[in-house]
A = this chain, B = another copy of it.
């Protein structure tokens, strides 16, 4: 079990876009160069974020991506779900109902305890990520670093 690296990319890009002054759009090329990422592949993840309503794509010169909602209304879970998909990592195959010792369906009205535990674990993980917004992540960036980013984003074209 491993997260796609696109999760990290999408998260960093979303946090960076939250720091763009006045919702200024950043092109995927600018984002890729900012973090030294392959632009063509990053495009796929940015597209997923746009499809999920996290980012908004602006075409044409001067366009790019910008946050579709205020950073305080975007959670870390939203970004992960957008990149990784909302499918549950664990799906009970109901193997207790198969094989030579299959349990009859009328005795399987309750979901098996294993599936319950897995679901609880996933829920705990989701709640943790749901409790952190993109705005929170911006605030946790060290002040000097945040200042450098601000200079980078708004500096070249004042």
Contact = CB atoms under 8 A, between A and B. Distances in A.
Contacts of A1: 1-4, 84, 89
Interface string A121-133: 1101111110010
Interface residues of A, number: 59
Contacts of A12: 95-96, 114
A134 to B, nearest CB: 10
Contacts of A113: 136-137, 140-141
A127 B128 CA distance: 12
A145 B105 CA distance: 11
* Identical copies of this chain, number: 2
Interface of A: 1-5, 7-9, 11-12, 15, 32-37, 76, 84, 87, 89-90, 92-93, 95-96, 98-103, 107, 110, 113-114, 116-118, 120-122, 124-129, 132, 136-137, 140-142, 144-145, 148-149, 152
Given A35-B96, A113-B141, 13 more contacts: A2-B87, A7-B118, A9-B95, A11-B114, A12-B114, A35-B99, A37-B99, A76-B114, A107-B145, A113-B137, A114-B137, A120-B128, A121-B128
